[in-house]
Structure 1
Amino acid sequence: MNRLDFLKEMKMGFLKTVSALYEPVMDEDLAKINQAADQLLGVQWTFLLKEWQGIGKIDQKFVKGQPVVVMYRDDNVYAYSGICPSCSKLIHISIQEEVCKCLYCEKQASFINEKVPDNLILTEYPLKKEKDGYYIAMNNEIQDGLYA
């Protein structure tokens, strides 16, 4: 092995050692930054479900007293507000037709069935997947109907 190859190996070994030492510290710092951002925004992560356990591809759950429409599509889970943005009434879901309907203002939304025209736009909640299941981000206080 010549001197140039030796120095390259030393450089690679040094970089691997430094990254291995700093990686756990960086992960802890990132977790602290995320937690601080959640506190500043007033977001609280609440447990939603372990794995998809719905009958069809759409289900309704109540989290912290708020209705949440949970949808399963393309191996992903999505969560939407279960309150109609037009009239602020509870949205009803039809598992068979895979649509959400507001019975008060007669608007509907379909996330899966392409044949149904959408005239109801629901607020989507952020989700994160952890080891023990899915968590939903909900504001501690609702301001102007906006969620983080």
Structure 2
Amino acid sequence: MNRLEFLKEIKKSLVETVQYACAPIMEDKIEKWNHSLDVLSQLQWWHVANRVSETNKIEEKYIDRQTIILVHDNKKLYAYDGFCPSCKKLLTIVQIDSTCKCMYCEKEYSLASHEKNGLQEFPLKKAEDGYYVGLRKRKSV
């Protein structure tokens, strides 16, 4: 082993050692940062699914007086508001077409195309025990 290879190996070993030593500290800092962001954005996380379905399916959940539409698509999970963005009435899900329709204003929204479908999308996060949706905290009445 020549001197250049030796120095490269020392550098690699030093970087790996620092990463190994700093990883728990950084994970703790990231967890605290995420918690601070949740508090500032007034998000509360609610459990919605244990796992993503293998088959494409759409389901409706009622959480904290809100209707959530969960879309399991190609091993990914999406969460949308269950109310029409234009008239704020409850949406009806049409499983066959992968759409939801407002019976009041008769607008239809595709759940198959996840980009720019017009529905409000809620944040999701994966944890060890399943998937959680982030909803804004409601004020106590």
TM-score between both structures, scaled by the size of structure 2: 0.84
Distance 1:14 1:104, change over 3 A: same
Q: Deviations over 1:60-114 (max 9, x none)?
A: 111112001111222211010001122211111122332201111111112228x
Q: Does the 8 A contact of 1:128 with 1:134 survive in 2?
A: yes
Give deviations 1:94-137, integer Å, cap 9, x for gaps: 22332201111111112228xxxxxx721011111112111001
Q: Normalising by structure 1, report the TM-score.
A: 0.80
SS in 1 for 2:96: coil
In the TM superposition, what is the alpha-carbon distance from 1:138 to its structure 2 partner? 0.5
Secondary structure at the aligned position of 2:23 is classed as helix
Q: Distance in 1 between matches of 2:34 and 2:92?
A: 34
Paired residues of 2:52 and 2:75 also in contact (CA < 8 A): no
RMSD: 2.3
Q: Higher strand proportion, which one?
A: 2
Gaps of 5+ in 2: none
The residue aligned with 2:125 is 128
Contact 2:56 2:74 in 1 (8 A): no
**Identity among equivalent pairs (%):** 38
In structure 1, stretches of 5+ residues that fail to align are: 114-119, 143-148
1:71 alignment partner, SS class: strand
